[in-house]
């Protein structure tokens, strides 16, 4: 059976929206995100009115992590976003067969800190096969995001949005002991071994 065309495949993943509504799973393209510096000044007193701190910034693709029910109501001033990067050989640090194996590991959801997003050619510029990085966050004002409403963006559709929401929740609800309390690593694990572990073994 032939592979479906990308447009037929990705229409199950995304809607394209350009209004002021916000939903978990909205992908913002080429947005500027800001972070306070590590050297943020410690203060015992309130900072003077109008004082500013140097902010680090980055322009790139980000996806909305905050729950739809939060960002869709008044009184929720800030939203959390996760960085999105192309699933390219440079970003995955692999080529050829190794790249294929890494992508298959991501497709199966065997890397808990990363979520694979399908490509979409129906938006300009086309959205490549990409990875959401849970460990790189940005906290931005909801009003700032709403002001990007004139720019067309991708929105995950049901049931992919729910799958993404479960991934977000599982990452933020993790509980674990300190590293020194864990059983030490037995060996370096390569993608083929991860695939094998995911396909069989004890129940």
Chain-centroid distance of CA 61 in Å reads 9
Task: Show Cβ contacts of residue 144 under 8 Å, excluding neighbours closer than 6 positions.
Answer: none
Per the DSSP assignment, residues forming a β-bridge with 161 are: none
pLDDT, position 13: 95
pLDDT, position 139: 93
How far is 64 from 154, CA to CA, in rounded Å?
Answer: 11
CATH number of 22-36+55-94+112-171: 2.30.30
How far is 7 from 99, CA to CA, in rounded Å?
Answer: 24
Task: List the chain domain ranges.
Answer: 22-36+55-94+112-171
> Which residues of the chain are under the pLDDT cut of 50?
1, 201-203
Provide the whole-model pTM: 0.85
Burial class (CB in 10 A: 0-12, 13-18, 19+), 101: middle
Share of the chain above pLDDT 90, in %: 52
What is the H or E stretch that residue 193 is in?
Answer: helix 191-199
Express each pLDDT in 107-164 by its tens digit. 998 888 899 999 999 999 999 999 999 889 999 999 999 998 778 999 999 999 999 9
pLDDT, position 1: 43
């Amino acid at each position: 059976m032939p592979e479906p065309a990308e447009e037929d495949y990705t229409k199950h993943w995304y809607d394209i929206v350009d209004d002021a509504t916000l939903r978990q799973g909205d992908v913002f393209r080429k947005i500027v995100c800001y972070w306070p510096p590590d050297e943020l000044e410690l203060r015992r007193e309130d900072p003077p009115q109008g004082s500013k701190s140097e902010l680090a910034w980055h322009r790139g693709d980000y996806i909305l992590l905050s729950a739809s029910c939060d960002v869709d109501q008044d009184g929720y001033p800030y939203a959390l976003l996760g960085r999105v990067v192309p699933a390219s050989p440079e970003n995955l640090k692999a080529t050829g067969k190794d790249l294929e194996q890494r992508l298959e590991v991501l497709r199966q959801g065997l890397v808990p800190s990363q979520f694979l997003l399908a490509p979409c050619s129906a938006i300009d510029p086309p959205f490549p096969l990409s990875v959401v990085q849970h460990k790189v966050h940005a906290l931005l004002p909801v009003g700032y995001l709403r002001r990007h409403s004139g720019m067309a963006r991708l929105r995950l559709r049901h049931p992919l949005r729910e799958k993404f929401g479960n991934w977000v929740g599982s990452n933020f609800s993790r509980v674990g002991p300190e590293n020194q309390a864990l059983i030490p690593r037995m060996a370096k694990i390569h993608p083929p071994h991860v695939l094998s572990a995911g396909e069989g073994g004890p129940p």
